[in-house]
Amino acid sequence: MKAVTTLHHTSNSSNAQYQALAIAVQGPLLAYMAHLSPIGYILLCCLSLALARFAYTQLTKKNSSKHSHYWLMLAYGNLSMLIGWLIDFDCLPLLREGICLCGCANSPLGQGAFCHCPYMYLGMYLGSLPCLFRKQSGKLTICPQALFGCLGMGPGMMLGSYLLTFWPITNPLLHFFLTVSAMITGMFIGMVFFEKIAPFFGSKSKHSVIGL
């Protein structure tokens, strides 16, 4: 029994480390996308490391599994979304000379953030696949409520980005980070909202019968 408990704790610790690493990597990635100065790069990296440390602390607590899928979304889903967004713009910084800051469909910080970014959405959904699974009786099962939650991430991100297009922002750096914040917030709200309405569509059980 002690050996099983130790193995379970080691597994949780390893998963927490991977998620914390995925969160920490987002700092340098965002700094590159925003084309920050060396000081800004260091500050953002320090912030992402602090968030990663906080995430690891939360994930290694007892009974941390209740909200673990939200950390999975922030770690893998958000990292994959940012990588996809970068690929959509030829792996170049989004903040470049002559960038469009209006809410039009050609702006990477306006409607273009949700109209012409297929890899961004693809990355978000692929990175969020771990959120779908839960352990039950030693097997991985697909959680219907989590499936609804992941489906809600896309509309939530689109809505967050769209609402920001009505706010005229002239500072490119501020616009970029507000857009990222709006999309992440929209993803989270969409995920939570769709999970809450899942029971109305027949997903009342915590786990599906699909075992892996």
Tens digits of per-residue pLDDT, 139-178?
556 667 677 777 888 888 888 888 888 887 888 899 899 9
Distance, CA of 108 to CA of 211 (rounded, Å): 40
Distance, CA of 126 to CA of 182 (rounded, Å): 20
Distance, CA of 34 to CA of 170 (rounded, Å): 15
Instruction: Give CA separation, 1 vs 6, 12, 14, in Å.
Output: 9, 17, 20
CA 48 to chain centre: 13
> Which of 91, 197, 208, 71 is closest to 131 using CA atoms?
71
Please say whether the beta carbons of 128 and 148 come within 8 A: no
Instruction: Please determine, for residue 212, whether its predicted confidence score (pLDDT) is greater than 70.
Output: no
- Is 149 or 39 the better-scoring residue by pLDDT? 39
Tens digits of per-residue pLDDT, 84-97?
999 998 898 988 87
Distance, CA of 199 to CA of 144 (rounded, Å): 9
- The residue ranges of every structural domain in the chain are 2-201
Distance, CA of 136 to CA of 103 (rounded, Å): 46
Mean of pLDDT values over 35-55: 95
